[in-house]
Amino acid sequence: MLGDSSKAQEVFHTTLREAANRAAQGELPKERFWLFRDALWRCLEADKADLQPEALKLDEHDVAPQGASQIEQLEPTQLAVWISGAPDPQRTALALFYLDEFDYNEILDLAELKLSELSRFLAQGRRQLQAWLDAKHPEQGTV
Amino acid sequence: MLRLLRRQRALLNCAPISQDRLADRSMRAAVSRADDSDEFVNQQSFDRAVAALVRLIPIPPETAEWFSEKDLVVGSKWTWKKMARNPAVLAISIAVMVIAGVSVFQVLSRLNDFPGAATARKLLTVAASTRPVMLDPVSTEAGTLSDLFFMKHGLEHYDVPTEFADFRTIGCRVFEDEESRRIAQIWLAEKRMQLFLFPAERNAKTGAVLPFPGWRYIHQEGWVGAVSEHSGVCFMAALRGPEKDLEPYLSKATGK
């Protein structure tokens, strides 16, 4: 979400500290995903002060059969930076989806999105990532 | 139709990376329809590759500590002492002890039971509530009342045992209990003792008398009774007080 490990760590610790305080006072919400929602909100807050990505129209390519092997050539941090560079709420959708910890209904609930929105963000994200991969490894690209 | 297709397209775009997240019925249906299409196969392998790479994104060591397998809070050590002080365990233990106590008491009290004990207990209640005016005044030796019971009431074998036969009587009566059994009651001058003669309990199937040997003690509301059976008739000597007050009469008889 943040593309910066120190920021992520700070958000993580703040979220847990706040949760511990609320638990000590017996004020834990009954809502199922409150902790994730809290962490998400803190990520977005932490990111507000930073430089925001320009609203560019990114290239989009259809997902190619060699897409998986192109991804395997990436460094994990490169992918993290790419996802964190996406504008919100697409970034939230991509981060929650590729964590592979939630089903789509849970993501809709957590990110407060509609199915059509989540679908659009994911499909667009795949196409943009494919275009970026094609630009990064033109010899394997489809263009 | 178009709307349905659009929804299916939307579901496919959100199709889970792991098969175990296919919990939703509409998602399962959409995935099973698109399973063979190249486009969906590409999407799935693309998503799997991204998810695999996401899992490799390094977590800062300070944060990783939070996910260590060590217990963050060390649970307090379990001891018998602690468990015994637990209010729930304490309450259950007390309840179990009370139930056990009641059960043991009931078992012990029934251990000395004999055929006719239930009737004898009821008659001890009758003895406690009887007043002398309720009986016909008769001043004689208790042993002689057997003839009276036989001749006047037709009660056979309603004999007062020799241990009590010589005591002077104040009064007597014959009455029926709630089961229409005829009971003879004698009031003695000796320690205001009361004697009862009643039919012995019988086997419900064969009708045979259920005998028991010797004297049996029975207690009810501060009264004590000594019961014996002879020729299908039970005899009970009853008085208010402890068992030891009745013992001398019975041992005297054994001595004889």
Residue with tokens 């993501």: A107
Chain B contact present for A17, CB below 8 A: no
Cα(first)–Cα(last) distance of chain A, in Å? 29
Distance CA B33, CA B114 (A): 81
Residues 6+ apart with CB under 8 A from B161: B228, B230, B235, B253
pLDDT band at A143 (very low <50, low <70, confident <90, very high): very low
Residue from the list A6, A68, A100 with its beta carbon closest to the beta carbon of B17: A100
Distance CA A128, CA A16 (A): 34
Chain A contact present for B179, CB below 8 A: no
| Parallel/antiparallel/unpaired status of strands B182-188 and B169-176 | antiparallel
Nearest CA in chain B to A103: B21
Distance CA B110, CA B96 (A): 21
pLDDT band at A52 (very low <50, low <70, confident <90, very high): low
Q: What is the pTM of this model?
A: 0.49
Nearest CA in chain B to A115: B10
What is the model's pLDDT at position B124?
A: 94
What is the model's pLDDT at position B183?
A: 95
Give A93-109 pLDDT, tens digit per residue: 998 899 888 888 888 88
List per-residue pLDDT tens for chain B, 256 residues long.
Answer: 556 678 888 888 888 888 777 767 888 888 888 877 888 888 888 999 999 888 888 777 766 666 655 555 555 667 787 777 788 888 898 999 999 999 998 887 777 788 889 899 999 999 999 988 899 999 999 999 999 999 999 999 999 999 899 999 999 999 999 889 999 999 999 888 999 999 999 988 898 989 988 899 998 889 999 999 999 999 999 999 998 998 888 875 543 3
Distance CA B125, CA B70 (A): 71
Chain B contact present for A73, CB below 8 A: no
Give A3-50 pLDDT, tens digit per residue: 677 777 778 878 878 888 887 877 777 777 777 878 878 877 777 766
Tokens of A73: 């050539």
Q: Are A76 and A49 in contact (CB under 8 A)?
A: no
What is the model's pLDDT at position A50?
A: 67
Inter-chain contact B27–A104, Cβ cutoff 8 Å?
yes
Residue from the list A13, A65, A99 with its beta carbon closest to the beta carbon of B54: A99
Burial class (CB in 10 A: 0-12, 13-18, 19+), B235: buried
